[in-house]
Amino acid sequence: MGETAEELREDIRYFLHAFRRPILEVKETDEGATLVSDDTGDAINDGHYFELMDRASVALDYMYQFLGSHPLIRKDKTLQGMYEKAEEALAELYQRAGLLEFDRSSS
């Protein structure tokens, strides 16, 4: 594990990248063992709506902390525009998840 802020950020980036991959399990067939994606956790439950909103909120915070306050973003208008679009997309994701949660609980 890293010790400096830069090393710790790189560690976090590495772990986040690794967790984008599906969980695999070994499946035995007549032809031998193969790795297949574990789809058992794909059922939507009541906690998933809030969880998505929470993760979108955390992503927005991280995005501002690591990108929005970066000197290049603050100085370059093109990068600023790109950052703002990405931030708006994450905010819209948060709002849409909230709407799904509201619609589900109102039914």
pLDDT in tens, 43-72: 888 888 999 999 999 999 999 999 999 999
Q: Is the pTM of this model over 0.85?
A: no
Work out the average pLDDT over 8-12: 86
Q: What is the pLDDT at residue 26?
A: 86
Q: Mean pLDDT across the chain, nearest whole number?
A: 88
97 burial (CB, 10 Å; 0-12 / 13-18 / 19+) is buried
Half-sphere exposure of 4 (CA within 13 A, CB side): 2
What are the domain boundaries of the chain?
1-42, 44-107
Amino acid at 95: Q
